[in-house]
């Protein structure tokens, strides 16, 4: 036959589904409308041409539920044109690795169920960050979930994620390998409200594992390596070589050519490797070129407290640019040490006087 349901409370309809309803917001899935063709054969329910409406989110596809009267097993193939996780899930109290787990949240929610299926999402959003053309195969059995390969588009690039999760009550064991290629990282930083002055296209690889019952234990147990590389990019709003030339011309006037919307400084050969260990995110090899400057960086971030201590060295060793500066600064290489410290979301920048 066929059914058509309006304003149904999905939580009450699926009391034995094994879904972790506590992860959802108070009003999520309380008012669901659905229409579908159905067929019941023995202890199996098959839904075809399923159409779902959950507030502003739509979904369609097929669903089959076996062993209705005992321990249900779910098989699905669903398409979601647009999904904003903030409309459904509690994302305010985030941990340091929640961004990496974004695509695996559907798997975690059904961890205690028997599930095999394919989820396709046209646009997936969370906290301003968006992915598109997401394809997620999913298999859950006995608290172990495999999602591989998850694929999608991410800021002009491509992403592939392979993940294995184990869930036993509050204990979460998480292992993932993630590859992002040719991503427009400047746009990503802008959507994260970190900065809008960077333009760079690059690649990112993540190999990470952690386990624990809460944020503190998962943070302390985490081990992994994150690698970033970009061949070229630019800093918008500042033409550093032109600015140095103007300063060397003994003039107090800075022209519009060195600062403004049309000005930029090229950056090249950006490389960084980050290690995750003992509750720290450590980097000791940041390196890139920026308008004649050689930039080097090293430091660490305490993941639980989110306190940052990072040192940057700016070296001007381009003889042509150095010669443009007034004496005595034109006599040799100039090195300026800087220190970035404080909370991750509000750090302070100062000259590193001991190193100077």
Closest to 137 in 3D by CA, of 96, 104, 170, 172: 104
Confidence band for 28, pLDDT divided at 50, 70 and 90? confident
Q: Which residues contact 335 (CB under 8 A, 6 or more apart)?
A: 313, 314, 315, 316
Q: CA 44, 47, 48 angle in degrees (round to 5)?
A: 135
Task: For residue range 112-146, list pLDDT tens digits in order.
Answer: 678 899 999 999 887 678 889 999 998 988 888 89
| Cα–Cα distance measured from residue 278 to residue 304, given in angstroms and rounded to the nearest whole number | 11
DSSP H or E segment with residue 314: strand 307-316
Kind plus residue range of the DSSP H or E element containing 217? helix 215-221
Dihedrals phi, psi of 98, to nearest 5 degrees: -65, -30
pLDDT in tens, 180-212: 999 988 888 787 766 778 888 899 999 999 998
**CB-count burial class (<10 Å; 0-12, 13-18, 19+) for 152:** buried
Tokens for 203, please give them: 């690649």
Sign of the dihedral defined by the CA atoms of residues 273, 206, 230, 312, in that order: negative
Q: What is the pLDDT of residue 168?
A: 82
Tens digit of each residue's pLDDT (9 = 90 or more) over 6-26: 988 877 776 665 566 666 777
pLDDT score at 19: 61
CB-based contact 351:311 (threshold 8 Å): no
Give 345's contacts (C-beta < 8 A, 6+ positions apart). Answer: 306
**Residue 78 pLDDT > 90, yes or no?**
yes
In this prediction, residues 291-319 reach a mean pLDDT of 85
Q: Specify the DSSP class assigned to residue 24.
A: B
Q: What is the CA radius of gyration of the chain?
A: 26
How many CA atoms lie within 13 Å of 75's alpha carbon, on the beta-carbon side?
9
Using the predicted structure, report yes or no on whether residue 164 has a pLDDT greater than 60.
yes
CB 138 within 8 A of CB 152: no
Q: How many residues does the chain have?
A: 356
- Do the Cβ atoms of 265 and 241 come closer than 8 Å? yes
Please give the pLDDT value at position 103.
Answer: 52
Q: What is the pLDDT of residues 82-101, one digit of tens each?
A: 988 777 776 554 444 555 55
Burial of 58-78, coded b for 16+ CB within 10 Å and e otherwise, reads ebbbbbbbbeeeeebbbbbeb
Contact in structure between 59 and 78 (CB atoms under 8 Å): yes
Q: Is 90 helix (H, G, I), strand (E, B) or coil?
A: coil
Give me the half-sphere count of Cα atoms (radius 13 Å) on the Cβ side of residue 270.
22
pLDDT the model gives residue 209: 94
187: which residues sit within 8 A by CB, 6+ positions away?
Answer: 155, 156
> Which one has a higher pLDDT value, 176 or 93?
176
Q: Are 276 and 208 in contact (CB under 8 A)?
A: yes
Q: Average pLDDT for residues 161-186, to the nearest whole number?
A: 87
């Amino acid at each position: 036959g066929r059914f058509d349901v309006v304003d149904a409370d999905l939580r009450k309809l699926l009391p034995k589904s094994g879904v972790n309803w506590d992860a959802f917001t108070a009003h999520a899935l309380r008012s669901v409308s659905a229409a579908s063709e159905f067929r019941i054969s023995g202890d199996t329910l098959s839904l075809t041409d399923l159409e779902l409406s959950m507030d502003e989110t739509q979904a369609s596809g097929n669903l089959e539920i076996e062993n209705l009267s005992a321990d249900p097993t779910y098989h699905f193939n669903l398409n979601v044109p647009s999904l904003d996780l903030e409309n459904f899930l509690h994302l305010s109290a985030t941990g340091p690795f929640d961004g990496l787990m974004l695509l695996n949240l559907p798997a975690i929610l059904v961890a205690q169920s028997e599930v095999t299926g394919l989820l396709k999402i046209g646009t997936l959003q969370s906290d301003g960050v968006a992915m598109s053309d997401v394809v997620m195969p999913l298999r859950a059995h006995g608290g172990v979930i495999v999602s591989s390969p998850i694929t999608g588009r991410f800021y002009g690039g491509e992403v592939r994620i392979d993940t294995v999760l184990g869930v036993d009550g509050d204990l979460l064991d998480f292992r993932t390998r993630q590859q992002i290629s040719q991503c427009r990282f400047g746009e990503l930083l802008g959507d994260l409200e970190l900065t809008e002055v960077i333009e760079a296209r690059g690649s990112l690889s993540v190999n990470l594992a952690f386990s624990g019952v809460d944020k503190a234990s998962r943070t302390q147990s985490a081990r992994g390596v994150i690698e970033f590389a970009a061949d070229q990019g630019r800093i918008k709003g500042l033409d550093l070589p032109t600015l140095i030339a103007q300063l060397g011309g003994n003039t107090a006037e800075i022209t519009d050519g060195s600062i403004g919307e049309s000005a930029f400084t090229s950056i090249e050969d950006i490389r960084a490797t980050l290690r995750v260990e003992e509750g720290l995110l450590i980097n000791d090899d940041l390196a890139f070129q920026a308008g004649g400057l050689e930039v080097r960086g090293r430091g660490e971030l305490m993941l639980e407290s989110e306190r940052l201590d990072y040192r940057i060295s700016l070296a001007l060793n381009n003889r042509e640019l150095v010669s443009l500066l007034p004496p005595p600064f034109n006599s040799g290489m100039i090195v300026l040490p800087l220190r970035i410290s404080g909370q991750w979301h509000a750090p302070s920048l100062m000259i590193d006087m001991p190193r100077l």
